């Protein structure tokens, strides 16, 4: 229950800033409605303009629940492309594999948008020399129990 009256997205940015002692260098978020990436980007960029904001989107032909590649006429009104420094595309297979890996190896019962986000974060990490990368686990695995996502 929220009792602060502050928007939850601003709280995520504050928590990231606080929990990394301001050391965050990259923030990765799945891009669904784009609310999380917009709000968190706004807060983090106010603290340090050099923080890289990275969006995870499905590659062409991939369907990942909770992540979209919006066509220009359907982009959410809250989305401001100047607040995203980089977009990393992820395949449906990569998202599914990472979701399963999160459950098996880390005990994180998440959904496919989280798998896609973490897969994108790992792709980012392969391209940087050093940094503190924060990625959001944005959904729950119980929503996928009737699917084949966790049929190992």
pLDDT tens sequence across 88-123? 999 999 999 999 999 999 999 999 999 999 999 999
pLDDT of residue 47: 97
pLDDT of residue 151: 82
Fold exhibited by the domain 8-144: Rossmann fold (3.40.50)
pLDDT of residue 142: 87
- The pTM of this model reads 0.89
pLDDT tops 50 at residue 10: yes
Across the beta sheet with 52-58, what order do the strands follow? 86-90, 52-58, 26-30, 133-135
- Rounded CA-CA distance 104/142 in Å is 15
pLDDT tops 90 at residue 7: no
Residue 98 neighbours by CB distance under 10 Å: 22
pLDDT of residue 3: 42
Least confident of 10-14, 27-31, 53-57, 60-64: 10-14
Averaged pLDDT, 39-56: 97
pLDDT of residue 11: 67
Output the CA torsion sign for 20, 25, 113, 73.
Answer: positive
Per-chain mean pLDDT for the chain: 91
């Amino acid at each position: 229950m929220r009792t602060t009256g502050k928007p939850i997205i601003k709280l995520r940015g504050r928590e990231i800033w606080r929990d990394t002692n301001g050391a965050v260098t990259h923030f990765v978020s799945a891009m669904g409605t784009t609310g999380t990436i917009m709000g968190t980007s706004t807060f983090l960029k106010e603290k340090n303009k050099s923080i890289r904001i990275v969006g995870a989107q499905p590659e062409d032909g991939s369907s990942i629940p909770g992540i979209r590649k919006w066509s220009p006429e359907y982009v959410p009104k809250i989305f401001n492309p100047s607040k995203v420094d980089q977009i990393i595309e992820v395949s449906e297979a990569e998202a599914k594999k990472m979701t399963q890996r999160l459950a098996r190896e880390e005990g994180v019962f998440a959904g496919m948008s989280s798998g896609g986000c973490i897969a994108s974060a790992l792709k980012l990490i392969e391209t940087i020399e050093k940094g503190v990368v924060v990625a959001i686990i944005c959904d729950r695995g119980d929503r996928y129990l009737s699917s084949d996502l966790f049929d190992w």
